[in-house]
Structure 1
Amino acid sequence: MVRWTVWWVLAWCLAGNSLHAAPLTVKAETPSVYTVQKGDTLWDISEHFLDDPWRWPQLWQANDYIQNPHLIYPGDQLHLIWRDGRPQLHLKRSVKLSPRVRVERTPILTLPAEQLIPYVEDHRLLTAADVSRLPRVMGDSQGQQFISPGTAVWVDEPLSPQRQWGIYRPDASFTRTLVNGEAVEVIALKAIAKVSVVGQADERSQIAITTLLQEVRQNDVLLPSPAPVRESALRFVPSEPPRGLHAQVLGGLANQQQYLATAMVVVLDRGHLDGARAGQVFQLHRPAVPIRDEAGNYRYGAVKQHTSATELAGPVIGDVMVIRPYEHFSLAVVTRATAPFEPGLAALPPQLPPASPEQS
């Protein structure tokens, strides 16, 4: 676990009105003062205080008078107070300085950077049409199936030598049908190597491998190398998605992942054009159980002719948090799963019990 950065003003803006549909509940026997530890994450702290960690912005609303984004650092103290019967947090700085020692502290982040940055940095989701237009590795001068550094590698297009390039391998594909009936296929690309252009001839480019993560193969594709992803890419807070934003887990980033579990990164079939944002938390639901009524006798299974049917809601088995939305799809990390699960589960906004009259 590593340290996390938090944008508090953004957190408050992301908190929807639906967060007030039920009273905010603090875990039983939670200490009134918590000292932030090195290695804490915002998600850890949210779970420390709340039964529903994604409601963190509501707990932090006591600080909505602060104009600039706030940062939490190891050593800071979070004080749990009650105002008008509602729990709220106050931040108390804890900085010890010596005239001869310069103290530098790094703020905590929302999720473990070492766990997620490789997925944010080394993976891409591109449409199948875009992937089909990318330059491809033709092979090397020795005819090897698995290409390693030190050989002359050729690409089927002229590439700019002024740019750094990365080699990616299509690793999995996912399809979604849009409201207008259009089918969109997206392909997950996994970073394989970093290369530089060393020559050109006959509308082809010769490249040299500078960093190798995995052996290069024929038909791997090339993309310009992006700027290194920093921890700032994880500057988001847990929040609730819009109530009408329903998603589905399409699968993991690798084809061989038949079962998914806690800490794995998955692909959701909703993106930023649908309203998905980094930090939004969805609950994972198993499929609903169909029940048919045959003259007063209930049976499991789909409805038959001359029978009525209903469904029993599927149980909640975990949560996923969006870490990088694309246009129509998103990468999300499984923050909790009570058991391994297969792709296809519904990812729905968290369900909260309605507030009772005396609590509303």
Structure 2
Amino acid sequence: MIRKSIGLLAGMLVTVAVYAAGAQLRADHPDTYTVRKGDTLWGISARFLSKPWLWPEIWQANPQVQNPHLIYPGDVLNLSFINGPRLGLQPRVRAEGEAIPAIPLSELRMFLKDMRVMNSNEVNDSPYVVGFEEARLRGAVGQNIYVRNLKGEPGQRWAIVRPSHVFRGFKEDDRSDPGNGIVGHDLDSDVSMVRGPWKEDFRNDGHYGRGNDLGVEVAVIGTAETLRTGDPSTLLLLDSTQEIRKGDRVMPIDDKPYDAYYYPHAPKTVTDNARVIAFADAMDAVGPRQVVALSIGAKDGAENGQTYSIFQPGENIHDDVASNSWDRGVGKRVTLPDEFIGHVMVFRTFDRVSYGLVMDGLRPVHKGDRLALPE
């Protein structure tokens, strides 16, 4: 659930004496920078700070800043020394316009409004599409669709959703087992979806048992309006991003407002098994400005704005030298250190999983990559 306490990601202003060991300016920073339309606060801070996620604390060290939650195009960030080791925001007449965001909100809107993680039974027991007008095989905008088990009134609007992932926990209490934790399984989009649960893809992660059911991710793929009640009810398909199929579920529209700004910050701790477990719009890997599902949720202390480093697990290779053998690839093995590959910021949490946006990266992010404190 989107937390109402989220504020605008703030600040470029540094007290060097206090934060010399933390939020340092990069060596090539200019004396000033004028905020432009299209900038994002993360982008500005990543350009000039060695640790961009620390700038909320940096604002607090600058009491001369009257409003630490708003920065606009036209504001001048002073990156030179002013009366000693203190940096500040140059006052000037502000041009009309909206405050710049931490990240482009358009890249998250689908995941704020059109993606949900729900209880599996709630998904399986929800009303479902059973047929289409003129015995069509698929539903298209402007056509009637028929829905079973729907309760409501004529004129009521509904979201049509399709399950995309199921999240499962395996040996979560056994910290000694490297196979423990939470995984996200793709749901086969080619099956008819007449019955649930839907076919899960267990490939590539080694989990063939069912595990603990932690929820199902569903994506809103259309909206419809009730024309006539009954069983089945008749609905008019108003819009859709995909063809509607038999078995697609029908749910109330989620019209809860959400905040437009985020306040990136480092988490206090991170669990041993915090991992990237699923992708929103990719099969094998993702990069900056793409969304991933994480194996931490509100029950684990995850909250919007938390920023993590992502590490790729080190490979387990043969140590040909220690094996003292003429035959390569046999004998003793060694695991190489994990490799840093980028940062991810949490922007929506559920009980056991969260959505995060990859903020930057040195190489592609894969499922199973580990989360760590951003140091």
Normalised to the residue count of structure 1, the TM-score between the two structures is 0.78
Structure-2 change in CA distance of 1:124 and 1:31 (3 Å): same
Alpha-carbon contact 1:245-1:349 (below 8 Å) kept: no
More strand by share: 1
Amino acid in structure 2 at the alignment position of 1:321: M
The one-character-per-residue Cα deviations of 1:140-160 (angstroms, maximum 9, x if unpaired) are 132222211333311111332
Q: Distance in 1 between matches of 2:140 and 2:67?
A: 49
The one-character-per-residue Cα deviations of 1:114-150 (angstroms, maximum 9, x if unpaired) are 2221222221122323211221111113222221133
2:260 is equivalent to residue 261 of structure 1: no
Query: What count of residue pairs does the alignment treat as equivalent?
Result: 324
2:236 is matched with which residue? 208
Deviation of 1:253 after TM superposition, in Å, equals: 1.9
Unaligned segments of structure 1, at least 5 residues:
1-5, 13-18, 97-102, 352-360
2:306 is matched with which residue? 280
Amino acid in structure 2 at the alignment position of 1:278: N
Q: Distance in 1 between matches of 2:265 and 2:117?
A: 23
Alpha-carbon contact 1:117-1:229 (below 8 Å) kept: no
Deviation of 1:291 after TM superposition, in Å, equals: 6.5
Match of 1:124 among 116, 131, 148: 116
CA RMSD in angstroms comes to 3.4
1:99 is matched with which residue? none
Alpha-carbon contact 2:22-2:51 (below 8 Å) kept: no
Deviation of 1:228 after TM superposition, in Å, equals: 7.0
The one-character-per-residue Cα deviations of 1:193-233 (angstroms, maximum 9, x if unpaired) are 1111111124x322111222221111111221122756x34
The one-character-per-residue Cα deviations of 1:61-119 (angstroms, maximum 9, x if unpaired) are 23357686531110011223559986x542334325xxxxxx64200111111222122
Structure-2 change in CA distance of 1:59 and 1:111 (3 Å): same
Alpha-carbon contact 1:286-1:346 (below 8 Å) kept: yes
1:90 is matched with which residue? 88
Alpha-carbon contact 1:283-1:347 (below 8 Å) kept: yes
Q: Distance in 1 between matches of 2:117 and 2:308?
A: 20
Amino acid in structure 2 at the alignment position of 1:91: L
Q: Distance in 1 between matches of 2:271 and 2:315?
A: 22
2:136 is matched with which residue? 144
2:346 is equivalent to residue 312 of structure 1: no
Structure-2 change in CA distance of 1:295 and 1:80 (3 Å): closer
1:237 is matched with which residue? 263
Structure-2 change in CA distance of 1:193 and 1:293 (3 Å): closer
Match of 2:277 among 222, 236, 250: 250
1:222 is matched with which residue? 250
Structure-2 change in CA distance of 1:146 and 1:94 (3 Å): farther
1:108 is matched with which residue? 100
Q: Distance in 2 between matches of 1:292 and 1:212?
A: 52
Q: Distance in 1 between matches of 2:44 and 2:145?
A: 49
Amino acid in structure 1 at the alignment position of 2:252: P
Alpha-carbon contact 2:152-2:229 (below 8 Å) kept: no
Q: Distance in 2 between matches of 1:298 and 1:62?
A: 57
Alpha-carbon contact 1:285-1:348 (below 8 Å) kept: yes
Q: Distance in 2 between matches of 1:26 and 1:184?
A: 46
Structure-2 change in CA distance of 1:250 and 1:298 (3 Å): farther
Moved more, 238-247 or 313-322: 238-247
Structure-2 change in CA distance of 1:79 and 1:184 (3 Å): farther
The one-character-per-residue Cα deviations of 1:227-283 (angstroms, maximum 9, x if unpaired) are 2756x34x11221122334510012024x5222222211100101111111121111
Amino acid in structure 1 at the alignment position of 2:298: H
Q: Percent identity?
A: 30
Q: Distance in 1 between matches of 2:302 and 2:329?
A: 33
Q: Distance in 2 between matches of 1:65 and 1:237?
A: 20
Moved more, 192-201 or 55-64: 55-64
Matches within 5 A, 1:172-183: 172-177=165-170, 179-180=172-173, 183=212
The one-character-per-residue Cα deviations of 1:309-333 (angstroms, maximum 9, x if unpaired) are 7643211111111111111101111
1:7 is matched with which residue? 7
